[in-house]
């Protein structure tokens, strides 16, 4: 683009004007060369009947001049305005000479000046274009006057010469006005293109720095655009040759998109990205009027919402646990101690022994519940590290079976040798201990009743650890409440085990879910293989 340029001022002209002048020179060269070729081939061309030799000589010089002008325009020398004026003056001289050799105004050669004036009007201001039209008109009128006075020309042809002069002025003026409007349109288009370019750059900056990931997907499932945040959340796309399909990039998200297009709406669950092990919440916004067309998918980092909620929860838990420790734990210790002293006395009947044991058991249960609640306040104090699962599970199995008095053969571990998990070691043992104790409690209590199965996908940063049992599983109607605090089906349980286990997983950027199972329950821990980040917010999927 060439802003602030005036066609007939200064030393520099837009490339468009030079290109127009170049094409006009090619036209001039073609016409002059055509005249020379016709004369050489036929000897007596239809033009130049009054003076063929003069017509041929002028045509040769006109051809040489046109060749020279083509070279000058290609070199952009001399100045544009000077070169254009020189060409217009030469055109008037050469064409009037050809007009004289062809018998005057009736030959029609003067119409070639219309093309020259049109070209001049396209690149010059109105007054200069009118000057060229006046120059051509004067030259034609002088040629006809000379013919009438000295060559016995017909004076009635003055009317034709005058009309032709009017055509010169009309052509120059019309070409200038049309070109002026064209340039105004071009300038408007240029400004709009600049505005659109700036707007596009702003949009790119906004999209690039968005906190949410963004994918633009068409109706065929092809991903047209994505921002860096999307790659951060769900990983870089696989290497492809032609096009990226959402089904290849993020299959579970493609399933959600299909459901969104074929259902009326509703919330969709959080997804776990296989490539990064992160949790993401997808939001779909249609591009067109219907859901069947293109869609913009916003991927929200679920950990941000969870982190804010956890901050509020931890603040409340901090106050709660402080009150619990002061108001409940000390009285419980006194009650438990008094009960133990009463149990040591002699002469108690069976009813007294049973009642004292009930008091003792329930005080211990309440004390354990207080300890679990206080652990919630410490859940964010972990130190995630890269754990070798094979080594850690060997240590865990020995400790767990010894402490719970469970036969070693009751627990089976399937673990690849290269499996690792980014997790706090103490949190990991606590979560796994809770899951395995529940599995033993609700399982068949026989050889192989508990299964710890590790799966490491070939691609991505994800590792899955399943804890399964051979019991009856969790009834369908109770599954939504599994991870709620204080929900339990065991009269001796506190109802905080699974809740705390999930909280500890989230503090290590992992997920704990119930997967069901054939003939038993199966819980799955989904986490990161390597500790790529140091933050302790829950992972995004």
Which tokens sit at 184?
Answer: 């105004």
Same domain, 19 and 161: yes
pTM of this structure = 0.45
Element (H, E) at 141: helix 126-150
Q: Quick one: 187 and 52 in the same domain? A: yes
* Domain assignment present for 10: no
Q: Can you give the residue range of the structural domain that contains 447?
A: 382-528
CA atoms within 13 A on the CB side of 238: 16
Rounded to the nearest integer, the mean pLDDT of the chain is 82
Does residue 2 belong to any structural domain of this protein? no
**CATH classification of the domain holding 498:** 3.30.565.10
536 falls within a domain = no
Nearest to 464 by CA among 513, 517, 425: 513
In tens, the pLDDT along 210-248 reads 878 889 998 888 888 888 888 888 888 876 656 788 888
The number of CA neighbours under 13 Å toward the Cβ of 168 is 26
Between 531 and 55, the higher pLDDT residue? 55
Least confident of 60-74, 142-156, 169-183, 444-458: 169-183
Q: Rounded to whole angstroms, how far apart are CA atoms 100 and 493?
A: 119
How high is the pLDDT of residue 538? 37
Count CB-CB contacts under 10 A for residue 480.
Answer: 10
Q: Is residue 492 part of a domain?
A: yes
| Residue 207 covered by a domain | no
Closest CA to 213 of 148, 260, 281, 164: 281
Residue-level pLDDT at 266: 64
Pull the structure tokens for residue 78: 């001399």
Q: How confident is the model at residue 67 (pLDDT cuts 50, 70, 90)?
A: very high
The C-alpha angle with vertex 411 and arms to 408 and 416, in degrees rounded to 5, equals 115
Same domain, 474 and 325: no
For residue range 415-443, what is the model confidence (pLDDT) as tens digits? 988 889 999 888 898 899 989 988 898 88
pLDDT of residue 163 exceeding 90: yes
Would you put residue 43 in left (φ > 0), alpha (ψ -120 to 50) or beta? left
Task: Indicate whether 533 belongs to any domain.
Answer: no
- Look at residue 539 and tell me whether its pLDDT is greater than 60: no
pLDDT, residue 532, reads 67
Same domain, 399 and 313: no
The verdict on 456 and 357 lying in the same domain is no
pLDDT of residue 264: 62
Does residue 6 have a pLDDT over 50?
no
Residues 297 and 370 in one domain: no
- Residue 377 confidence (pLDDT): 56
Distance in angstroms (rounded) separating the CA atoms of residues 48 and 264:
84
- Mean pLDDT lowest among 32-46, 56-70, 365-379, 493-507: 365-379
* Residue 76 host element (H or E): none
User: What is the pLDDT at residue 310?
Assistant: 60
**What does the pLDDT read at residue 382?**
66
Q: Return the pLDDT at 9.
A: 41
Q: Which of 376, 394, 417 is the last residue of a domain?
A: 376
How far apart (Å, rounded) are the C-alpha atoms in residues 380 and 309? 13
Please say if the pLDDT value at position 309 is more than 80.
no
Band of pLDDT at residue 389, cut at 50, 70 and 90: very high
In this predicted structure, the answer to whether residue 91 has a pLDDT above a threshold of 90 is: yes
Of the candidates 147, 121, 145, 123, the residue with the CA atom closest to the CA atom of residue 133? 121
Where does residue 518 fall: left (phi above 0), alpha (psi -120 to 50 degrees), or beta otherwise? beta
Comparing 139-148, 247-256, 374-383, 449-458, which segment has the lowest mean pLDDT? 374-383
In this structure, the answer to whether residues 362 and 395 fall within a common structural domain is no
pLDDT (tens digit per residue) in 317-358: 666 666 666 677 778 788 888 888 888 787 778 888 888 888
pLDDT for position 369: 67
For 190-210, how does the pLDDT look when each residue is reduced to its tens digit (9 = 90+)? Answer: 899 999 888 888 877 887 778
Sign of the CA dihedral running 85, 86, 91, 94:
positive
Q: Are residues 417 and 505 in the same domain?
A: yes
Instruction: Please tell me whether residues 372 and 400 are part of one structural domain.
Output: no
Please classify residue 337 by burial: count the beta carbons closer than 10 Å to its beta carbon, then call 0-12 exposed, 13-18 middle and 19+ buried: exposed
On whether residue 279 sits in a domain, the answer given is: yes
Report yes or no: 447 and 439 within 8 Å, Cβ to Cβ. Answer: no
pLDDT in tens, 8-56: 443 445 677 888 888 889 999 999 999 999 888 877 667 788 888 899 9
Among 30-34, 291-295, 364-368, the minimum mean pLDDT is found in 364-368
pLDDT at 271: 85
Q: What is the pLDDT of residues 453-503, one digit of tens each?
A: 999 887 778 899 999 998 888 887 788 778 777 667 666 666 677 888 888
**Residue that is last in its domain, among 376, 409, 429:** 376
Same domain, 323 and 459: no
Structural domain tally of the chain?
4
Show which of 345, 376, 407 is a domain's final residue: 376
Please check whether residue 131 lies inside any domain of the structure. Answer: yes
Of residues 413 and 243, more confidently modeled:
413
Kindly state whether residues 335 and 403 are assigned to the same domain: no
Do 322 and 351 belong together in one domain?
A: yes
If one compares 477 and 171, the residue with the highest pLDDT of the two is 171
């Amino acid at each position: 683009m060439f802003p602030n340029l005036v066609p007939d001022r200064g030393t520099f002209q837009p490339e468009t004007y030079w290109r127009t002048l170049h094409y006009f020179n090619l036209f001039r060269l073609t016409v002059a060369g055509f005249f020379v070729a016709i004369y050489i081939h036929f000897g007596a061309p239809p033009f130049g009947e009054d003076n063929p030799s003069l017509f041929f000589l002028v045509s040769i010089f006109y051809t040489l001049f046109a060749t020279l002008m083509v070279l000058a325009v290609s070199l952009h020398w001399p100045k544009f305005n000077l070169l254009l004026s020189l060409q217009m003056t030469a055109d008037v001289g050469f064409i009037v000479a050809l007009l004289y050799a062809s018998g005057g105004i009736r030959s029609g050669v003067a119409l070639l000046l219309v093309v020259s004036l049109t070209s001049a009007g396209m690149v010059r201001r109105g007054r200069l274009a009118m000057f060229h039209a006046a120059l051509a008109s004067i030259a034609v009128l002088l040629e006809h006057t000379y013919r009438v006075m000295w060559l016995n020309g017909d004076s009635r042809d003055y009317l034709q010469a005058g009309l032709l002069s009017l055509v010169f002025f009309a052509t120059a003026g019309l070409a200038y006005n049309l070109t002026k409007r064209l340039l105004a349109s071009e300038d408007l288009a240029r400004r709009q293109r600049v505005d659109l370019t700036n707007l596009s750059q702003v949009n790119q900056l906004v999209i690039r720095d968005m906190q949410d990931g963004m994918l633009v997907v068409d109706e065929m499932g092809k991903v047209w655009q994505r921002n860096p945040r999307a790659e951060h959340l769900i990983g870089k796309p696989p290497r492809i040759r032609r096009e990226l399909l959402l089904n290849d990039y993020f299959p579970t998200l493609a399933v959600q998109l299909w459901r969104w297009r074929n259902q009326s709406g509703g919330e969709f669950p959080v997804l776990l990205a296989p490539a990064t092990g992160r949790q993401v919440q997808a939001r779909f916004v249609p591009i067109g009027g219907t859901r069947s067309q293109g869609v913009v998918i916003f991927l929200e980092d679920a950990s941000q919402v969870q982190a804010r909620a956890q901050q509020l929860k931890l603040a409340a838990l901090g106050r709660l646990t402080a009150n619990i420790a002061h108001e409940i734990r000390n009285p419980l210790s006194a009650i438990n101690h008094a009960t133990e002293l009463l149990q040591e006395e002699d002469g108690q009947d069976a009813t007294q022994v049973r009642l004292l044991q009930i008091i003792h058991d329930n005080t211990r249960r309440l004390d354990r519940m207080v300890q679990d609640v206080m652990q919630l306040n410490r859940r964010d104090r972990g130190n995630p590290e890269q754990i070798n699962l094979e080594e850690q599970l060997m240590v865990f199995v020995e400790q767990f079976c010894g402490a719970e008095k469970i036969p070693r053969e009751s627990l089976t571990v399937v673990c690849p040798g290269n499996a690792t998990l980014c997790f706090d070691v103490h949190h990991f043992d606590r979560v796994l201990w809770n899951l395995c104790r529940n599995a033993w409690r609700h399982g068949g209590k026989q050889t192989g009743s508990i299964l710890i199965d590790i799966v490491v996908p070939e691609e991505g940063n994800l590792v899955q650890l399943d804890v399964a049992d051979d019991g009856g599983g969790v009834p369908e109607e109770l599954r939504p409440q599994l991870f709620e605090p204080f929900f339990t089906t065991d009269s001796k349980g506190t109802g905080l085990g699974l809740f705390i286990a999930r909280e500890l997983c989230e503090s290590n950027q992992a997920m704990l879910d119930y997967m069901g199972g054939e003939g038993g329950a199966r819980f799955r821990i989904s986490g990161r293989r390597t500790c790529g980040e140091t933050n302790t917010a829950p992972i995004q999927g």
